[in-house]
Amino acid sequence: MAIAFRSFTSSNTNNTASRSIALPAGCVSGDVLVFVSDCDGVAGLDTLSGFTDLFGGPVVGSGGSFCGGFQYRVCDGTEPSSYTVNVLSGAERAAFALLCYSGVSNTSPINVSGTNDGGSDASVVFPSGLSTTVNDCVVIAAIAREKGQGGNAIVDTWPSGWTERYDNEGGPGGAGGGSAACAAADFDQATAGTIASETVTTRRLSFWMAAYIALAPESAAATITGTGAINSTVPTISGAGTIARSGSGDVDIPVQTISGAGTVTEYVPPPPPPPVVEIATGGGGGGSAADRKIRKERKKREEWERQQLDAVDRAFKKVFNEDEPSAPDRPSEELAAKPITRSERKKVARFAFESLELDGIKAELKSVKRVLNEYIRQREQMEKARKRRYNDAMITILMS
């Protein structure tokens, strides 16, 4: 936002110790007020409430009989409708004004400032050797003069490009050395660099003081495009990019305004995988519908396995009962009483498959063998999957 002049108010003390000055019209929070003044005597005017003196207090001009005053304040919305201006040495004549500007930096409103003063002359020479450090400043040029003008204007002509803002309106009475007069104009300093010293012609020979006060603009908002990791709490980001707050990189962004067509999104990590839940296989009909369905399928599988093993039993019984086996080949009752393991059944099935000559029995045993192998393969896969889920769950728990 460019700096803009909003409005001004002015007042005076006419051999009184204090006087009020109204707040300029339209002044809002974020604006900057600049107070310029001229006071007869060497004490000058007191600092207004909440203001900062640019030069540490009143500046005594040439001749030692008057003081210029230059103060500023960043508005925060608590400004009163008027300020009381007090003379430090009692009753004196003084002229003063409040200038209000918008678009000024609230953190460093004054970029550079300085004064110059001179003897009894109509020509007022502004200070030299001052340079702005940022672009788009607005420079206030203020004049404080020892002799009054009875409240009338004191400047004949301002330099080209300057805009008059205040010329002793409401100044005190009197036109001699016991009075006071003040005026101010401003101009743009678009490019950072040296502020040219200018000369202004006034309407009376008098001791004088001239001041430059360069106001700094608000910082332009930064533009960020694309995506990236930003670990910085900043109130504003402008541009058309999308910013995901993630990662470990640090980015400092000295901006204060959020604007533009971009979006700011908060990165949310995916939820951890659910823990492995072992489903109870005991009796009863408890659990969810999914648990009951799994138990039902498991029972069907167990029944199918039992039927396949019974088929193997029938197959090798036919082999041993077809002819009377010799004594060494007949299994003992002790062995027959022991439960047959899966590996033993596979061996028996393989033996029966090799011994039988009947095509039907061979086909049945081959089918049994294929089913058994498939069952064993599936059980191994299920066991691996169960272990994998268990390991994943443990890793998630340890990392959380």
pLDDT tens string 236-292: 444 444 444 444 444 444 444 445 555 554 555 555 555 544 444 444 555 677 778
Rounded mean pLDDT, 54-79: 92
8 Å CB contact between 111 and 101: no
pLDDT at 248 (0 to 100): 47
316 phi, psi to nearest 5 deg: -75, -20
pLDDT at 65 (0 to 100): 85
The share of the chain scoring above pLDDT 90, in percent, equals: 38
pLDDT at 368 (0 to 100): 78
pLDDT at 229 (0 to 100): 47
pLDDT beyond 60 at 319: no
How buried is residue 7: exposed, middle or buried, by Cβ count under 10 Å (0-12/13-18/19+)?
A: middle
pLDDT beyond 70 at 325: no
Rounded mean pLDDT, 168-181: 80
Q: Per residue in 207-244, pLDDT tens?
A: 889 999 999 999 854 444 445 544 444 444 444 444 44
Q: At what angle do helices 289-322 and 342-355 cross, to 10 degrees?
A: 40
| Residue of 180, 16, 14 whose CA lies nearest to 89 | 16
pLDDT at 327 (0 to 100): 44
The share of the chain scoring above pLDDT 70, in percent, equals: 70
Rounded mean pLDDT, 34-45: 91
Q: Per residue in 377-399, pLDDT tens?
A: 888 888 888 888 888 888 888 88
pLDDT at 253 (0 to 100): 46
In the chain, where the domains are located: 4-215, 220-269, 289-399
**Can you give the three-state secondary structure of the chain, one letter per residue?**
CCCEEEEEEEEEEEEECEEEEECCCCCCCCCEEEEEEEEECCCCECCCCCCEECCCCCEECHHHCEEEEEEEEECCCCCCCEEEEEECCCCEEEEEEEEEEECECCCCCEEEEEEEEEEEEEEEECCCCCECCCCCEEEEEEEEECCCCCCCCCEEECCCCCEEEEECCCCCCCCCCCCCEEEEEEEEECCCCECCCCEEEEEEEEEEEEEEEEECECCCCCECCCCCECCCCCCCCECCCEEEECCCCCCCCCCCCCECCCEEEECCCCCCCCCCCCCCCCCCCCCCHHHHHHHHHHHHHHHHHHHHHHHHHHHHHHHHHHCCCCCCCCCCHHHHHCCCCHHHHHHHHHHHHHHCCCHHHHHHHHHHHHHHHHHHHHHHHHHHHHHHHHHHHHHHHHHC
8 Å CB contact between 104 and 216: yes
pLDDT at 85 (0 to 100): 95
Residue type, 393: A
pLDDT band at 360 (very low <50, low <70, confident <90, very high): low
Residue type, 275: P
What does the CA dihedral 302, 307, 310, 314 come to, rounded to 10 degrees?
-170
pLDDT beyond 70 at 190: yes
8 Å CB contact between 71 and 56: no
Q: At what angle do helices 342-355 and 359-399 cross, to 10 degrees?
A: 150
Highest-confidence segment of 46-50, 254-258, 324-328, 391-395: 46-50
pLDDT band at 26 (very low <50, low <70, confident <90, very high): very high
Rounded mean pLDDT, 306-329: 60
pLDDT at 295 (0 to 100): 83
Listed range (29-33, 91-95, 122-126, 264-268) with the worst mean pLDDT: 264-268
pLDDT at 220 (0 to 100): 52
Highest-confidence segment of 93-102, 261-270, 302-311: 93-102
Stronger pLDDT, 279 or 6, i.e. the higher one = 6
As a whole number, the mean pLDDT across the chain is 79
pLDDT at 349 (0 to 100): 66
Listed range (59-68, 170-179, 354-363) with the worst mean pLDDT: 354-363
Give residue 398's region: left, alpha or beta (phi > 0; psi -120 to 50): alpha
